[in-house]
Amino acid sequence: MSNNLTINDLYSLEQYSERRVAFREKVMKHKEDRRIALGPNLTIYFESKMTIQYQVQEMLRIEKIFEKKAIEEELSAYTALVPDPRNLKATMMLEYTDESVRRRKLRELKGIERGIWFQVGDGNKIFAIADEDLEREDRDKTSAVHFLRFPISEQMIEEMSTGARIMMGVQHPSCQIEPVTLSERAYQSLLMDMN
């Protein structure tokens, strides 16, 4: 199965209308397995071909896009988020319901997106490469949403396939959170991206 998402993977608007409820349920279950809470307000959602297909299908549905060229433009905007055998891809979200707290925290946490790390077994921490599509922080604050990429080596893949523990954490002066060990379901879901 190819990790690339192409126009041939998509449902037509009519097909998607018929399958949307069932497909959405499947995607939400899949996303739950790939949700990593690094703290009460910091969540990592590992993307997959399926999660990105869902985002594209929803965008096509909302915008009523059916012309091939316009569909390909939507695909090109999203396909960089599909993982490949050498890179895990994720969306990082800082979630604060109170607007004044959110504004303050986004200032305090400037640069946090580059402090998210991923570790397989006793290997080195791999720090996220953040926001390759566009800059999401300014001089004063970070954004509430960032897109991350974690480069994965052949050795890491081998260790993952033999059951080595996977941990994630944050290295940032304003965010003191204990590292987390990925659940078995998250582990197995990410391992599928490497194949």
Tokens standing for residue 57? 């299908």
The whole-number pLDDT of residue 126 equals 95
The whole-number pLDDT of residue 138 equals 76
| 133 C-beta neighbours (distance < 10 Å), count | 10
Radius of gyration of the chain (CA): 18
Is the CB of residue 48 less than 8 Å from the CB of residue 193?
yes
Q: Mention every residue, 6+ apart, whose C-beta is less than 8 A from residue 117.
A: 125, 126, 127, 128, 168, 169, 170, 171
Of the listed ranges 63-77, 115-129, 133-147, the one predicted with least confidence: 133-147
Tokens standing for residue 44? 């990592």
Single-letter amino acid code for the residue at 193:
D
Most distant CA pair in the chain, distance: 50
Residue 1 has pLDDT above 50, yes or no: no
Stretch 94-118: mean pLDDT? 94
Is the CB of residue 140 less than 8 Å from the CB of residue 77?
no
The whole-number pLDDT of residue 80 equals 86
- Cα distances from 84 to residues 49, 75, 167, 192, 193, in angstroms, run 9, 16, 20, 10, 7
pTM: 0.89
Residue 139 has pLDDT above 90, yes or no: no
* Residue 131 φ/ψ region, left for φ over 0, alpha for ψ in the -120 to 50 degree band, beta for the rest: left
Stretch 165-180: mean pLDDT? 93
Of the listed ranges 12-21, 114-123, 137-146, 180-189, the one predicted with least confidence: 137-146
* pLDDT tens figures, 37-54: 999 999 999 999 999 999
Average pLDDT over the chain, rounded to whole?
91
Distance CA 148, CA 19 (A): 30
* pLDDT tens figures, 80-100: 889 988 999 999 999 999 999
Stretch 21-25: mean pLDDT? 97
Of the listed ranges 87-91, 135-139, 175-179, the one predicted with least confidence: 135-139
